[in-house]
Amino acid sequence: MSPSYADVLAAADRIAPHIHRTPVVTCAALDELCGARLFLKCENLQKVGAFKARGATNAVLSLSDDEAARGVATHSSGNHAQALALAARRRGVPAWIVMPTTAPAVKRAAVAGYGAVIVPCEPTLAAREQTLREVVARTGAVFVPPYDDERIIAGQGTAALELAADAPGLDRVLCPVGGGGLLAGTAVALSGCAPAVKVVGCEPDGADDTARSLAAGHRLPAVAPRSVCDGLLTSVGERNFPLIARLVAGVWTVPDEAVIAAMRLLFERAKLVVEPSGAIGLAAAVAHRRELAGGRVGIILSGGNVDLDRLPWLPPREDPCPTR
């Protein structure tokens, strides 16, 4: 079942008490750079530092009491893990998060800090899926997928509802696409509340499966994706792709160097900490400034979870003085 605009509205009501209504900020320096009026939807300021709090909260609150009592489970080393852990704690139910043993300690600590049980696994997709199956079989927990799920898609779409309300008359909205939860949700939301807006997906050129899938007319998997945008490496989801194909005006691909430059611009000029995946919309806007000229452009800054010891414009810290 595809989520509808009504599902997005219902999600917005459901999650409102539990998430931040994030601000939409403007920045004259960035407007000048792009020759357009930009409206930055600050999902980096969302709970757990990313829009993922919306979908996970909607999914957990959509469960019946019986389902919820069994707890929830997922596999993720990223923002969805924290988002699901937080949403489960809010509902007072257990959460099991399958995480690869290679996940950074800081991410494990964040998930554990929300009271979730971390189940370690080998760092392969097969091991993650197998471990998750075992957890679900053993505990009876409900699997909450990171993006390929109608409750998740509807939840992620609520950010665009707020953006459209706070920045009326937009011409375009630029939105990152990895698995497609945020992009599909954004497209569904805007198709209902602001149907004149063109929704554009923004994808790393090293992980361009959505762009290729749209060109082919059917879903193609990501092949050895590589990008500084660690949140955008997954292949577009089965439920996500048809919504994107039907409702999105196109996908713009962006090289990593442009993403890093945009991330630095957001720190420097907009004073916002944004992760690479979250900066890709601005990178796309800079690259496509001719098409955007004079327009009103919404950009979803999807998250802000960054390792501050390893900012991509700084030289690597490891062993700065190797013995000669």
Site for its own copies in 140-199 (CB under 8 A): none
Site for its own copies in 242-271 (CB under 8 A): 264, 267-268, 270-271
* 64 versus 323: smaller Cβ distance to its own copies: 323
Is residue 198 annotated as part of the catalytic site, yes or no?
Answer: no
> Is there binding between residue 44 and its own copies (CB under 8 A)?
yes
- Give the pairing of strands 24-25 and 37-42: antiparallel
Give least dist CB 28 to its own copies, A: 7
> Is there binding between residue 299 and its own copies (CB under 8 A)?
no
Number of residues that bind its own copies (CB under 8 A): 29
Query: What are the residues whose beta carbons fall under 8 Å from the beta carbon of 108, sequence distance 6 or more?
Result: 99, 118
User: Considering 52, 76, 77, 107, which one is annotated as catalytic?
Assistant: 52
- The answer to whether 164 and 170 are in contact (CB under 8 A) is yes
* 18 versus 212: smaller Cβ distance to its own copies: 18
Helix residue ranges per DSSP H, 17-157: 28-34, 52-62, 65-69, 79-91, 105-113, 125-139, 150-156
Is residue 302 annotated as part of the catalytic site, yes or no?
Answer: yes
Residue type, 204: P
DSSP state, 48? G
Secondary structure (3-state) at 296: strand
Q: Could you tell me which of 191, 204, 119 has the C-alpha nearest to residue 153?
A: 191
* 20 versus 246: smaller Cβ distance to its own copies: 20
Give least dist CB 205 to its own copies, A: 25
Q: Residue 160 and residue 141: Cα distance in Å, rounded?
A: 30
Give least dist CB 316 to its own copies, A: 11
- Interaction site with its own copies (CB under 8 A): 20, 23, 25-26, 28, 42, 44-45, 47, 49, 264, 267-268, 270-274, 304, 306, 308-309, 311, 313-315, 317, 320-321
